[in-house]
Structure 1
Amino acid sequence: MNTDVESVKGEAAGSTFRFLLYNIRYCTGIGARFHLPVPYAGYFKRSGENLEKIISFIREVDPDIIGLIEVDCGSFRSEKLCQAEVIARQLGHFHVVQNKYGEDSVATRVPVLSKQANALLTRLPISSHRFHYFDKGVKRLVIEAQIEPATVFLVHLSLTYRVRQAQLQNLYRLVREVQGPVIVAGDFNVLWGDQELELFLAATGLTSANGLGTPSHPSKAPKRQLDFILHSEEFKVSGFQAPLVTYSDHVPLVCDLELR
C-alpha cells in the first residue's frame, strides 16, 4: 500500500514527532454498500475487515501520537472488541479511550451508542490523562493527556453552530490552564468554515498546522476542512499531508511537528 506519506522524523531525532489525526467512522467504511439495504445501514455492519486496512495504513504512516475520532470500544459491530485496544496492541502503543457522550447522557445507556468513543494512542509514555466534558452538546468528551513533549487535547465538536461555540469557550478555559507546549486536535465540525475558529485561535495563541487549508471531508472528493491539528508557538510544522485514503468518510491528517 502506498499512502504517499513521506517521513522526515529521522532528520531531527528526538525533537520531531509525527501526529496522525483520523476520524475512522467506527471502521464502518464508505461507498454505496454503506447505504444498503437502507441509508446509513453501514453503521450497523461488522467492521473487522476495514479495521485491518486502517491498521495497515497507520503502520505505514508510523506516527508517534495518534488521535482517533469515532472509535467503537466494544459493540457487536466490532465483535465486542475495543478498536483502540486492537490498534494499540498491534502497534505496541499506549492508549486511552473513553465514551464520547456526557456521563449522564441517555446515549450511554443505548446499545451501540454506549460504545462510541474517541481515543489517543502513542508509542511515547503517557504520564497522566484526564477526561473532561463540555457543558453543552451530545458529544461532550475532551481527552487531555500529558505525552512528552506536549499536553494533547482531543475533541469531537457538535454539529450545531451555537453549541460548537459554547464548546470552544469550554475548551479555551481548559487550554489556558496548561503550561508548556500544547496540541489541540480533532473533528471540529466547523460547517460554516474555518472562520468559526478565529476567536478561539486568537485567545489561545494556537496555530493550525494545515497552513494551506487542505480539506478533509468527504474523503472521496474533499471539499470541507473539518479536522484540525492546532499547536502552540513552541512547535513549528516540518511536514503536513492529508493522504487521500478512503477507509472512512474523512481523510487523515499527518503532521510532523518540531520543537523550536
Structure 2
Amino acid sequence: MKRAVSSVLVVFLVVGCVHGRGSVSSVGGPAASEEAEIGAAIHRGILGTFEVYHEPVLNEYVRRIGERIARRARRNDLAYRFVILNDERVYAAHAPGGYVYITTGFLRFLTAEIELAGVLAYEIGALQYQNPKFSKAKMVFEQLMQTGSLIGPAFGTIGALSLTGLLVVGIVVTREKSIEEQIYLADRRALKYLVSSGFDPQGLIDTLRRMQNPLSPFRPYLYDYLKSHPVTEERIDRLDAAFGNLEVANVRFDAGRETYLSFTQSVRR
C-alpha cells in the first residue's frame, strides 16, 4: 500500500511542476513533432505491455469505421491509427499523435456497429487538443517513464496505460480545468462526428448506459475503464441534452447489429 501511495504522489508532483508555467504552442508548429514523439513513445510502451490482436478482417473493419469518423474531426493533421489489444478487460484509450486503442474485451461487450463507432468517436474527440503545451507535456511524460516501475503497481497494467500520457498529457496540454470537462467535450465532439459520418449517436449513449448495469456479466471487466472514463448520471444527462440539440429527428440510421456481430466473430469464440 505504501508503494502505491508513493506512486500517486509521484504523478501529482510531476504534473504539479508543469501546471502554472510554460508557453503555449499552436497546432502544426514545433509542438506537432513533440506530440508525435510522445505518442510514438507511448505506443511503443503499449506494444511492449500488451499483445496486439492481428486478425486481419476485424482490424480492417475497426480501421474503416475509425477512419470514417476521423475524417470529420478538426485535427486532420493527425495520422490516425486504430489498434486492437488482445485483453479481456473492457477498455479503450488514445495517445497523442492519433493513436486509438480498443481491447478485444470491449469488442465483446459491444453489440452493434453504432456502439463501436461511439467508442471510437469519443477517443478521437479526446485527441482534439486545443493549443497543446507539448514542450511541457514531454517533460511530464519523460519523468513518468522514469518512474514507471512505481506507477504500474499502483494502477495495474491498464490503469498505467491511461496514466502514461493518456490522461496526464490530456490534463497538461488542454485548457480544460478538469477531467470531467475534458470528458464532456470529447462526448460532445463524438456526437457531432457520429452524425456527420452517418452513425446513430444513440450508440454512444446506449453503450454508457449498459456500463451502469450492476448485474452485467461484464462488470468485473469494466473497472479500469470506469476509473478513467467515469460514467455518471451527470455525464449521461449532459449527453442526452446534447443529443436533443442534434438535427436527427428525421434521419433513419442502421444500427449495424448483424454486420458488427459478423465482423467480430473471432473475438466471441
Q: Establish whether TM, by shorter chain, passes 0.5.
A: no
Higher helix proportion, which one?
Answer: 2
* Larger RCO: 1 or 2 (CA < 8 Å, sep 6+): 2
Larger radius of gyration: 2
Greater strand proportion? 1
Q: Normalising to structure 1: TM-score of the pair?
A: 0.28
TM-score, structure 2 as length reference: 0.27
